[in-house]
Amino acid sequence: MHSILKTSFAAIVAAGVATSAAAEGHSLSGELRIISDMSNPAPRAVMEKLAADFDAMHPELTVDLTIVDREAWKTQIRNALSANPPDVVNWYAATRMSPYVDAGLFMDVSDLWEDPAMADLASTKGAMTLDGKQWGVPYTYYQWGVYYRKDIYEELGLAEPTTWEEELANCQAILDSGRKCYTIGSKFLWTAGGWFDYINSRTNGYDFHIQLANGEVPWTDDRVRQTFANWRQLIDMGAFIDDHQSYSWQEAMPFMVDGEAAAYLMGNFSVAAFRDGGLTDDQLDFYQFPTINPDVAPAEDAPTDTFHIASGAQNVDAAKAFLLYVTSPEVQSEINNGDNLGQLPVNAQASVSDDKFIQEGFEMLSNNATGGIMQFFDRDFPAEMASVGMEGLQEFMVFPDNLEDILTRLEETRQRVY
pLDDT of residue 103: 96
> Residue 115, Cβ neighbours under 10 Å: how many?
17
pLDDT of residue 13: 37
pLDDT of residue 353: 87
pLDDT of residue 72: 87
pLDDT of residue 75: 86
Q: Is the dihedral of CA 139, 275, 151, 264 positive or negative?
A: negative
> Residue 50, Cβ neighbours under 10 Å: how many?
24
Domains of the chain: 2-142+302-350 (3.40.190.10), 144-301+376-417 (3.40.190.10)
Report the C-alpha gap between 277 and 409 in whole angstroms. Answer: 39
HSE-CB of 308 using CA atoms within 13 angstroms: 32
- Phi, psi angles (nearest 5°) of residue 239: -70, -30
Q: How far is CA 294 from CA 224, 357, 363, in A?
A: 17, 26, 21
Q: What stretches in the chain show pLDDT beneath 70?
A: 1-26
Report the C-alpha gap between 160 and 187 in whole angstroms. Answer: 28
Q: How far is CA 59 from CA 27, 28, 62, 63, 318, in A?
A: 9, 8, 8, 10, 12
Q: Is the dihedral of CA 403, 405, 408, 412 positive or negative?
A: negative
Decide if 192 contacts 227 (C-beta within 8 A): no
Q: Which of 204, 230, 231 is nearest to 217 (CA)?
A: 204
pLDDT of residue 89: 98
Q: Where are the alpha helices (DSSP H) in 59-189?
A: 70-82, 98-102, 110-113, 122-125, 150-156, 164-176
- List, edge to edge, every strand of the sheet that includes 88-92: 61-67, 30-36, 88-92, 304-309, 137-141
pLDDT of residue 367: 86
Rg (CA), the chain: 22
pLDDT of residue 382: 87
Decide if 92 contacts 379 (C-beta within 8 A): yes
Helix (H), strand (E) counts: the chain: 19, 13
> Residue 348, Cβ neighbours under 10 Å: how many?
18
Q: What pTM value is reported for the model?
A: 0.80
Report the C-alpha gap between 129 and 93 in whole angstroms. Answer: 9
